[in-house]
Structure 1
């Protein structure tokens, strides 16, 4: 038997080995003590994830049956007692970020997997981001995470699932802005696009719904999410001056979305306070650009927003600054 499975690593890598046979070899190699392969667990995990990423990036081809087999194999590896035992012994096994991206994107295609799979996957990536504080220097890695977050379902789901998905994405963004601020600035457009998904989703969920909205038990879910949006706006505004170049873009996104809905007053309060923080970053030429560049209906929404900002928030802030001096 050992002779049959000799050179297993070369056979797994060989383009001449049928994929069905590769899968059988990989399964045997994982459970068999006859397969002596240096760093076997990491090698087999890398082989499986490389095959999956290759299929999703259309670099390799194999049947749907093999694809399902690879996913089952990966699941078996990640949940095996053998792997958990190795981890308890202090050994490390790594999973590439692009694999995490594929896991999140693939599960996001099925809304029923949001709570049991997608949210835990995002939470795991968030933990990796926090553990990697100061070590991730390539913005491409952060962009991979942001690309995955962009696919997390935020519509056509129940309030309970929405809250879990919203929190997962929010915490991932917060980990990026807190632990990797400089790297995040290099990926600012991607970061802001994911954040805008949260803003747009809470505007849709937090819109006025007439009599059905009164006394709804879901009100607190969306109100809490609006508080988190306000907090994130504050963190973005405080992160770095480089964001000032995108402040007008953020305001334009906000008013464009706001023009589509009539928000509940309690939710509008938090979102408004948040966007005020971004307006604090806008220079005079940004305001002129927004006034001239926005479409008619959106321009009216912006004028109303900027009027209230000038009258209430800006005047209050200037008064506080004067008092402080």
Structure 2
């Protein structure tokens, strides 16, 4: 019976097969045990991402309904029990180059953020969570970090902003948790993406007056920033040399606005954890090297760090001893 369905791969590649029929064949091939297709999981994933890449590179035209169906198929595949079982058997899935390229292309159209860009990020995060054993090249993880640089975080509604912010954060979390070896070389790229989140929440979390009806959105995002600072601090060996750089970025953004107190609380608690990583020469560098207005913001931050956070931590350490 399986031999009857052995020509599906050729039909998926054939320009004579209508795209709607290709998608039906791909769905059938994924769910059917009677479909004879070597390396089926990788082949179908590659076919779907290649189709999306063709569309976003303007080499084919799809209707919006078909495009949405294609994204749904990709999401179904990546979240399926079948794929999870496949990976648990020790088999691998390769993250092809065109997945990050598709993300970059989709990110250029802000109107696609909620419907396409965020699902694509979620799909890549699902793959990244499988760990280093199932992503065969660290270069693929670096490509994902590069693609995240283009995800829109401004000129979008608060609801879309929250979804985009969470999607990027979860991808970073998957990388720092599941790909520690990548972080040995990719820490600067990782921090560049994270800095986009920090800069955006500083802007969005500024005081706006009494008419701010989206305060919960930005408060939740500020909590995610604090959470990520905490994870960065626990992998200090990858970030110690960059801790002063992270602090400098934060105070540079902070100097531009007046933050809401609730948002500032979480960001401050997070940056305190990075200050814990700074050595004396880092502090001297920050005090001497920052521009005048930014230096004042840093001095205020560092003073509160010494008075509240560091004193409390030393007290806790003494109590523990």
Unaligned runs of 5+ in 1: 1-7, 13-21, 58-63
Quick check: 269-278 or 87-96, which moved more? 87-96
Distance 2:288 2:296 in 1: 11
The residue aligned with 1:282 is: 278
Q: Secondary structure at the match of 1:212?
A: coil
Unaligned runs of 5+ in 2: 1-8, 26-35, 87-91
- TM superposition shift of 1:278: 0.1
Distance 1:75 1:293, change over 3 A: same
Deviations 1:194-238 (A, max 9, x none): 11111111111100112323xx2x111111111111111011000
TM-score between both structures, scaled by the size of structure 1: 0.76
- TM superposition shift of 1:279: 0.2
Contact 1:48–1:70 under 8 Å retained in 2: no
The residue aligned with 1:292 is: 288
- TM superposition shift of 1:152: 1.2
Residue 269 of structure 1: which of 236, 242, 265 is its match? 265
The residue aligned with 2:89 is: none
Distance 1:192 1:28 in 2: 41
Matched ranges for 1:166-245 at <5 A? 166-213=165-212, 216=213, 218-245=214-241
Distance 1:69 1:156, change over 3 A: closer
The residue aligned with 1:24 is: 16
Distance 1:283 1:69 in 2: 55
- TM superposition shift of 1:144: 0.8
The residue aligned with 1:3 is: none
Contact 1:233–1:275 under 8 Å retained in 2: yes
Distance 2:17 2:63 in 1: 12
User: How big is the alpha-carbon RMSD for the aligned residues of Structure 1 and Structure 2?
Assistant: 3.5
Deviations 1:51-74 (A, max 9, x none): 9869989xxxxxx5x333699998
Distance 1:224 1:77 in 2: 31
Rg bigger for which structure? 1
Q: Secondary structure at the match of 1:128?
A: helix
Q: What is the aligned residue count?
A: 291
- TM superposition shift of 1:115: 1.1
TM-score between both structures, scaled by the size of structure 2: 0.77
Please state if 1:159 is matched with 2:138: no
Contact 2:53–2:99 under 8 Å retained in 1: no
- TM superposition shift of 1:111: 1.6
The residue aligned with 1:67 is: 60
Distance 1:74 1:323 in 2: 60
- TM superposition shift of 1:138: 3.5
The residue aligned with 1:17 is: none
